[in-house]
Structure 1
C-alpha cells in the first residue's frame, strides 16, 4: 500500500504554527496537521504494528554508556531478538551516569523511518518532558548532547518533538505522560520569546512512518480452523448495514448466525476482540487490518459454500455455487 502524500512529501508552509488551530491546519497542503502516528500501520485494535526496519542509533560497542534506568526485563528473549517488537521503544532517560552498573551490551534503536517536518531551533513547545541536562558534566561537546537528545525522540515512535537548550537541557514529547503538546500546534504553545526559546540551539518536529515493505504482519498465535463460508484476513466495506450496529459474539459462527437472522444481511465480519459486523449487498470484500479477522457470507438456502484445495492445501477463499432448487 502506497503511503499518502501527508506521509511522504507534505511539509507545512510559513503559516505553521498559526494563531488558531484552523490557521495551523490551513498551512498544510492537505488542509490539516498530521495526527501522531497517523502514518504508522496499526492492528485491528489500533495498536501499532511492528516494523522490520530497525536502525541502531547508539551502541555500547561505540562508546555509548547504555546505563539506562526504568527498563523492564523481558524473560526468554536473547539480545538478537530483544529489539524486534514494536513494544521495544520509548523515552528512556538517564542513560549516561549510573554508579555500580555496567551493562554487558546495550543499544538504542529506531523503528521505521523519520521525516523532519519543521526545524524548531529557537522555539519552546509546551507539554514536553525533560529528557536530561548536563549537570553531571557527561557531555564535553554541545553537538554530542544534541545528537543524544534527537536519538531519544527518534527511538520512540510516539515522540514528535524534541528540543535542546544548553542551559536547560533536552526536552521532548513523552506520550506516557498526561500532558503533551496541544493539537493542532499553535503559537500559543510554540513560543519564541521565552528564555528557553532564546537558548534553544536545536530541535525538530518529526513524523514516524514504516515503509510498506517493512510492515510486519507475522501471526502471533494459532488461528481457528475454518469451516465453509468463511475466510481469514478480509472484511467488507461499508462494514455495517443501515441501522445495524456492532455486537459482541463468542465466536465467528455466532456472528454468522446473527447475519442469518438479520433481514437483507449478506456478509459478516468477526474481529479478534469479539466484535461482529453484518453487511448488506452493497458491501465489497476488502483486505482487513488484521489477518485474524474472519468473514464471509452467511450461506443462503439456495447457495452452498465449498472450499477447494489449491496446491495441496486448503484454500481460504470460498467458492460459491448455485444448487438446483
Structure 2
C-alpha cells in the first residue's frame, strides 16, 4: 500500500501523458482559466518538466499533491510546477501561459479577486510581498485577469460598449498617435470595427475617409486638422480600487497638458483624463495635476508600473504628488454573460503557423476574431492559408507558404474554408540538418588574386515594425543581435560587422514588409582565405540561433510597444557569400626606398665614367699643342710647360674638364709670350 501511495503521482502523470486532454474532466473549459504572460514562482522541488502542450502541463500539475499552479512556455515546451504558496509574476513571463491545477479553483479565485478584493492599510508596501499581503484576496489583481479570453489568448468582445466622447457632441477628437486601419474606410465601418474589438479605445475618420484606431494623445487643440468624425469608447465596466490623489506613480505616460487653456476648469480636465484611462482596457492608473497635466498607463509604451505596486514606484513627497488633485487605480472587467460568443474555426490548428516563402505572396491585417481572419482569407483569391495571432493580427499567405510548429494557444491557422479539404504542407523541421547537407563555398580566386571570404547572415524578426522603433531601440538591437551572433559562432564581437566595410560589433537593421525587421550581419571566415563557409551557415540556420534572437527581441520590446504588431518570431533567411580582394601591402622602410638608392648610385657611376673619359681626352689635346713628343718628353731647347705654375682647378673640378682645357691652353700661350725671348723669324705662335 505504501508503494502504491508513493507511486501515485508518477502513475497519474503517466496516465495523463497517455490519455492527454481526454483524461481531464475540465478539458473543455481548461482554456478559460489560463492567464497569459504570467508565471508562478517559486517552483516546487523537481518541478520543471517537459510538456508538449498547456493542457499536458496542467495534467502534470494535477498529478502531484504538492502542485497547485503551473506555468508553460510553448516555444521551449518548459512546464514549471508551483505550490499553493507561489505568487504570480510578470517578469520574464512574456509568452508564458499560467493557471491552476483545477479550473474550478481558478474560477473561485477569480470571483474573489474580481468582485470583492480591496486594498487595506499598507498598500503600496515596501516590497512586493507586503503589497500583495495588503489585499483581502492575498494579492493585487493582475491586469485584465477579470476579462475573459478565447482559446488563442485574445480578449473576448464585451456586449457593454459605452461612448465616452463624440465629435457630434462637441468633442474635438483631434488625437495624434493613432494607427491607420488598412482596408477600412468610412465612418460606419470604422466605428463598427472599433466597437467589436475590446482593445480599441477609440476611432477617428480623417482625410480620404481613412480609418484610425487607438488611444491617441493631445486630442483637443490641433489647428491644422479637424476629423470627419471620432469617438472614444469604453468596453466593459470599471471598478475603482485605490485613490491616487496626492500620489505620484512612476511609469505613466503624459497624455496632455492644458497649455492652450482649452478646459474651463480643473474638473473638465480631470474628466477628460479619466475617460482616456477608462477607454483603454489595459490602463490601470490615471492621475491629473494642474501643473504637470494628465498621466495614464499607456500599454503601447515599453514601460509601466510593476505588479504589485510598491513604494519604489509610488511616492507622496514629490512635486507631482503634492500637486496631484485626482487619480485612481482601476480594474477593467466584463461581467459574466456579457461576452459575445466567439465562433471558433473548427478546422483551425493550434500547433502550426504559416510562414510565407521568400518569393511568395503574403498580407497582414488587424481583425477581431479567428472567424474574421478566415473570412478575409476566403475573400482574397491569392490566399491559401491564414494564421491568426494574439492581439488580433491576421496573416494571409499563398500556397507556397510552409507550416512551422509553434506552441499551443499562441496562434490559430487554417484554410480559407472548412468545407474544403486542404492538404497541409509538410511541417518544416529544424534547418540544422538541411544546412549540414549543403556545402557553402565562395568562388575560387583568379590567377594572381587573393580573396578573403565573408558570410552575410540574414534573419527576419516578424511582427516588429522597424519604422516604429525609436533610435535608442535601434542602437540597442544592433549591439544585442551582434552579441548573440558572436556568442553562437564562438568568435570575438569585433568580427561581426554591419557591412563588409562597416562598423565592428554591430549589425545592420532594415525595414521589411509587412511590419517586420531584417537583421544583416557580415562575419569574416576563420581563416579569412578559406572559402568554405559551411560551418558558419550551419549555425546561422540553426534553431538555437533563431530562438536566441527571438528571446532578445521579446525581452527588449514588450507587447505594449507600438512597434510590436503581433507575436515576434525570429526566422533565418538565405545567407550570401561575400568576397573582397586583398591588396598587396604598402612598402615601408628600406623595402620602400632601396630602388631610389640604387638609381642614385647608378647615376653617380655614370657621371664618374663620363668625367674620366673627358679628362683623358683633354690631356691628349694639351700634349700635342705644347710640343710634347709622342713618348711624353720635350725636345732639347724646347720650352717645358710643366715648369709653369698654372694653378686652376683640377680636371673634372667644378668648372668641368672642357673649360679646364681651354684655360690651360690660354695660360700656356701667355706664358710663352712673356717668358721666352723672341727672335725674328724663329718662333711664331
- TM-score, length-normalised on structure 1? 0.67
Q: In structure 1, what is the Cα distance between the partners aligned to 2:270 and 2:175?
A: 18
Matched, 1:21 2:128: yes
Aligned to 1:58: 165
- Work out which of the two has the higher radius of gyration on C-alpha atoms and give 1 or 2: 2
Per-residue CA shift, 1:266-300, capped at 9, x if unaligned? Answer: xxxxxx887688xxxxxxxxxx9x999xxxxxxxx
Alpha-carbon offset, residue 31 of structure 1:
0.7
Per-residue CA shift, 1:58-106, capped at 9, x if unaligned? Answer: 1112211111112233333625514222242253211101123222221
Contact 1:120 1:205 in 2 (8 A): yes
Contact 1:219 1:291 in 2 (8 A): no
Q: Secondary structure at the match of 2:229?
A: coil
Q: 1:162 to 1:126 in 2, by over 3 A?
A: same
Q: Spell out the pairing of 1:153-164 with structure 2 (5 A cutoff).
A: 153-164=277-288
Contact 2:297 2:304 in 1 (8 A): yes
Q: In structure 1, what is the Cα distance between the partners aligned to 2:242 and 2:315?
A: 14
Q: In structure 2, what is the Cα distance between the partners aligned to 1:80 and 1:161?
A: 26
The answer to which structure has the higher helix fraction is 2
Aligned to 2:145: 38
Aligned to 2:237: 113
Matched, 1:83 2:191: no
Contact 2:159 2:340 in 1 (8 A): yes
Pick one of 177, 191, 196 that aligns with 2:301.
177
Q: Secondary structure at the match of 1:31?
A: coil
Alpha-carbon offset, residue 158 of structure 1:
0.5
Per-residue CA shift, 1:119-164, capped at 9, x if unaligned? Answer: 1000000111111101122112110000000000000000000000
Uncovered stretches (5+) of structure 1, i.e. residues with no partner: 226-231, 233-246, 251-271, 278-287, 293-325
Which one scores higher on RCO, CA 8 angstroms, separation ≥ 6? Answer: 1
Q: 1:80 to 1:127 in 2, by over 3 A?
A: closer
Contact 1:24 1:33 in 2 (8 A): yes
Aligned to 1:8: 115
Pick one of 122, 128, 138 that aligns with 2:246.
122
Instruction: Give the aligned length.
Output: 243
Uncovered stretches (5+) of structure 2, i.e. residues with no partner: 1-106, 202-213, 354-387, 390-404, 414-685
Contact 1:49 1:216 in 2 (8 A): yes
Per-residue CA shift, 1:167-207, capped at 9, x if unaligned? Answer: 00011111111111122111221100100000000000000
Pick one of 246, 265, 277 that aligns with 1:141.
265
Per-residue CA shift, 1:284-320, capped at 9, x if unaligned? Answer: xxxx9x999xxxxxxxxxxxxxxxxxxxxxxxxxxxx
Pick one of 187, 210, 215 that aligns with 2:339.
215
Q: Secondary structure at the match of 1:23?
A: helix
Alpha-carbon offset, residue 219 of structure 1:
2.4
Q: Secondary structure at the match of 1:107?
A: strand
Q: 1:291 to 1:248 in 2, by over 3 A?
A: closer
- TM-score, length-normalised on structure 2? 0.33
Matched, 1:224 2:224: no
Q: 1:212 to 1:179 in 2, by over 3 A?
A: same
